Chain A
Amino acid sequence: MTKQLWKGNEAVAEAAIRAGCEAYFGYPITPQTELLEYMSWRMPQVGRVFLQAESEVGAINMVYGAACAGRRVMSSSSSPGVSLMMEGLSYIAASDVPAVLVNVMRGGPGLGNIHPAQSDYFQAVKFGGHGDYHPIVLAPASVQEAIELTALSFDLAEKYRHVVIEVLDGSIGQMMEPAEMPEMQPVRLERPAWALTGATERPKNVISSIRIDSEGLEAHNLHLQDKLAHIRGCEVRYKEYWLDDADLVLVAYGTAGRIALSAIRQARAEGLRVGLLRPVTLYPFPTERLARLAKQAQAFLVVEMSAGQMLEDVRLAVEGRAPVRFYGRMGGAVPMPDEIFEVVRGLCYALRPPKPSGNGHHPARRPQPEDPGPQGAD
């Protein structure tokens, strides 16, 4: 299939449909609304369920219901709306049912604004709802990757009977890019044995998040923790660029990762030894890869469109073996490659002060490896 021009939000909607999403429940909120609008005509067109809910609270509980019925189901929203869904996500996670949520993140806190941001990292990966759980969190950096991760979201949600949140920052939701859409997958007709489909020729099924005795609830929590340990062992995904000889390792995801890569290309052209680790899964986080890099690299620079949230996870992975610096923009401001480049150059020169040459103080230029393109586990 050839590439077509797709808007991020609409691409995610179509990708979900092609992945066999049977039901969508949502509520309008900028900058995610095109996803809901696309679903409103496309889902009925293919004979599936679309319903605009009365609120994000309603939407996530409709998702919960359809998930209990064993359907591939999703919702989408943006930051303030996702805050309203936290109660439902906690119940879904507690109930071992699969569900997919797309958060097209905007500037906060509060009503904030509708510009792109990455300030919901903590809410997503550190569980914004009550209780001990982490959703699986995926973070695409392009429309093409958003398409691929949307299909993966449903597979992971069902594989682990768990909540998967795909976090797009507003720029990926709103931008148009050439992208290739996968073929339409058939809707799965077989229902899981645990689904609420009516107790026909089987004992009744009950899906509940209440466990009234402490032993029972602790045992259930241990089961949830085992599941998360398995996810941490099997589902870490990231991309890496120019890390082999990097003195300075940038860590950035989504749009920030993409802009950081532009800055790194600039830096490499100037002979600076700098590379990028771009987490694709924010939970599970590439902790082990960063720990290994901490033995090789001299310093880390985390770039985010937030006040520094993923920064904490990078520091936990590096464990003080190297300095971890931060550059971030907030409130819907997106960093320009030049801004990041200036920070990178300053840090690189601090690590390897340029040797004075005969005609001035220009840095010594070294031959550079070719742009390797993305590498790494995925």
Chain B
Amino acid sequence: MTDMQETVVFQRPETLEDTYTNYCPGCTHGTIHRLIAEVIDELGIRERTIGVAPVGCSVFIYNYQNVDFAVAAHGRAPAMATGIKRVQPDKVVFTYQGDGDLAAIGTNEILHAASRGENITVIFVNNATYGMTGGQMAPTTLPGQKTTSSPSGRDVEIQGWPMRVAELLAPLPGVSYSVRRSIHDPRHINNAKKAIRTAFRAQLDGMGLALVEILSACPTNWHLTPVAALEWLAKHMLPYYPVGDYKISEGLQ
């Protein structure tokens, strides 16, 4: 007779709350929340981490993460995170921001936090639309993409071009890490987690602002099924928003 041994191979991270979700079916915010929670657990920083939530669908991220949280005004999370981090540099501070929050109303705050080299981690979720208000055109909406405020499709002659944030911030000396990842399949999810981990490590090593842009699906506002939304992401978003490393400072390799 042999001794039976059970090994836990998968469980809810301590940083992830055991609760119901407000996100739509097929929304990938939940996946990203979990990746962050796993990384915080693995780095053993839960008890000294402070998150800053955006305005948008993920305003309620504080319900899902078991860390201290502040909810910023729309776009102001990097400024608020600056205030939190500057008075307690021993803490780990991250913002979680959508594309409307970071790339439209909050461009001033993210650009200057990056320029100053604020020692914070930024998780930037790009789903090419304003989710919470019901699918309007975002700064990241693709050319030709139909939304409730670009009903004929985004016309770049009138509405301009979508913004590539990871590429935009990478050249700033204050930025230690700027990469784009996606979560439309398991391989990309694993790579996204590695990038989130690196972005937190950059902060722990005091290297400056670290940003991970993550391409994310919004089936509800894209009017697609969850599976079709992931396929749409891969087919339409990846060509304009290539997954890649735009800045990796020495020492983070």
Point out residues on A near B: beta carbons under 8 Å: 22-23, 25, 49, 51, 53-55, 57-59, 61-69, 71, 73, 87-88, 91, 196-201, 204-210
Contacts and interface: CB of A to CB of B under 8 A. Distances in A.
Given A204-B66, A204-B69, A61 B80 contact: yes
Interface stretch (B82-90, B143-151, B169-177): B82-90
Contact of A200 (B47, B80, B112): B47
B108 A58 contact: yes
Given A61-B76, A88-B73, A199 B86 contact: no
A199 B62 CA distance: 13
B46 A88 contact: no
Interface of B: 46-50, 52-53, 59, 62, 66-73, 76, 79-88, 91, 108-109, 111-112
Contact of B86 (A51, A68, A91): A51
B47 A198 contact: yes
Nearest to B46: A199
B91 A207 contact: no
Contacts of A57: 76, 79, 108-109
A310 to B, nearest CB: 30
B86 A66 contact: yes
Contacts of A49: 86-87
Q: Which of B69, B81, B91 has the most chain A CB within a 10 Å cutoff? A: B69
B84 to A, nearest CB: 4
B81 A198 contact: no
A62 B85 CA distance: 9
B82 A206 contact: no
B87 A196 contact: no
Given A65-B80, A198-B47, 6 more contacts: A62-B82, A66-B84, A69-B88, A198-B49, A205-B69, A207-B70
A201 B68 CA distance: 12
A68 B80 CA distance: 9
B184 to A, nearest CB: 30
Contacts of B81: 65
Nearest to A212: B60
28 contacts: A23-B87, A51-B82, A51-B86, A57-B108, A58-B109, A61-B79, A62-B82, A62-B83, A63-B83, A64-B70, A65-B70, A65-B83, A65-B85, A68-B80, A91-B73, A197-B91, A198-B48, A198-B67, A198-B68, A199-B66, A199-B67, A199-B68, A200-B47, A200-B48, A204-B66, A204-B67, A207-B69, A208-B53
Nearest to A50: B86
A19 B128 CA distance: 48
Nearest to B65: A204
A61 B109 CA distance: 10
Contacts of B62: 204, 206, 208
Contacts of B112: 53-54, 58
Contacts of A196: 50, 68-70, 84
CB-based closest 9 A-B pairs: A65-B83, A61-B79, A54-B112, A62-B83, A208-B71, A65-B80, A198-B48, A66-B83, A61-B76
